[in-house]
Amino acid sequence: MTAQPTAAICLIGDELLSGRTRDVNVQTIAKFLAPYGIPVKEVRIVSDEQERIVEGVNALRAAYTYVFTTGGIGPPHDDITADAIAAAFKVGIDEHPEAAALLEARYKEMNTEFTPARRRMARVPHGASLIDNPVSGAPGFQTGNVFTLAGVPKIVEGMLGDIGHRLETGAVVKSVTVRGSDLREGDLAEALSALSDKYEGLSIGSYPWFRTVNDHGVALIARGTDEDRLAQLSEELAALVRGQGVNPEIIQGEL
């Protein structure tokens, strides 16, 4: 049995910290990794400053099997992720001939000038391999265990298509959600604590929702890699909800 691979995400961008943009890439990457059995264990959002990016990436790549960065690889002057990754790995950075050729051909096709700013997008750290970008052309790149992706959500989705074959997979975490309307967390907490002790190795989360006065309740989520025990636990959770006089809704999933 090998250890479960793990992942971390480092989002790069002042616009995420300022509140201007609400991130969606964490969700996209976590959902992409789930079927590979690679749980995301930590996320950091750092500013567009080289020192902060280097610090974040180095802490995460030492602690987790894979790191995904998003943002900062476009043409603008403040897009400094490629240089920061090179600095984090203490390697040089140069134009990658394949990336330059690919961009040159693309801009020619689009009848658009291949400016020096656009040419910057062909620069990758020494030793990095390219990640295909089927959406807008400019590639991402893999440096050791770090995958550097764009920030634009559609482009992130596209680049993930060239990642799967590079990953070591782990045991897939399955989940069962047991939803009960009108329930309150405080009425279930003691029973959940006992179930949590009984089913060691599985995790049980309890998430209240309040949409309106007439639409609220608690979702109980059991997660783990052992499907038989997960099925037993989900039956006990459903029984717990029924014991409160509520008919549970049961949803199988992977998140």
Return d(Cα 82, Cα 88) in angstroms, integer: 10
Is there a contact between 66 and 145 (Cβ–Cβ < 8 Å)?
yes
Does 222 engage in binding with a second copy (CB under 8 A)? no
Does 255 engage in binding with a second copy (CB under 8 A)? yes
Q: Which of 5, 12, 38, 40 binds a second copy (CB under 8 A)?
A: 40
Does 51 engage in binding with a second copy (CB under 8 A)? no
| Closer CB to a second copy, 78 or 235, in the complex | 78
Does 178 engage in binding with a second copy (CB under 8 A)? no
Q: Which of 101, 117, 231, 251 binds a second copy (CB under 8 A)?
A: 117
Does 246 engage in binding with a second copy (CB under 8 A)? no
Rounded to a whole number of angstroms, the minimum distance from the CB of residue 159 to a second copy is 15
Distance, first Cα to last Cα, the chain? 23
Is there a contact between 142 and 131 (Cβ–Cβ < 8 Å)?
yes
Rounded to a whole number of angstroms, the minimum distance from the CB of residue 148 to a second copy is 18
∠ CA 227-229-233, rounded to 5°: 115
Does 76 engage in binding with a second copy (CB under 8 A)? yes
Does 207 engage in binding with a second copy (CB under 8 A)? yes
Residue 38 DSSP symbol: -
- Whose tokens are 């995420």? That residue is 16
Return d(Cα 242, Cα 125) in angstroms, integer: 57
Neighbours of 106 (CB within 10 A): 16
Judged by CB under 8 A, how many residues of this single chain contact a second copy? 65
Return d(Cα 157, Cα 32) in angstroms, integer: 9
Does 251 engage in binding with a second copy (CB under 8 A)? no
Return d(Cα 199, Cα 114) in angstroms, integer: 59
Handedness of CA 88, 48, 129, 32 (dihedral sign): positive
Which DSSP string corresponds to 164-208?
GGGPPP-PPPEEEEEEEET--HHHHHHHHHHHHHHTTTSEEEEEE
Binding segment toward a second copy, per CB under 8 A, in 12-20, 90-98, 123-131, 239-247: 12-20
Does 244 engage in binding with a second copy (CB under 8 A)? no
Binding segment toward a second copy, per CB under 8 A, in 69-77, 86-94, 160-168, 238-246: 69-77
| Closer CB to a second copy, 148 or 175, in the complex | 175
Residues that bind a second copy (CB under 8 A): 14-24, 26-31, 34, 39-48, 52, 74-78, 112-113, 115-118, 120, 152, 154, 173, 175, 184-190, 192-193, 196, 203-208, 210, 221, 223, 255
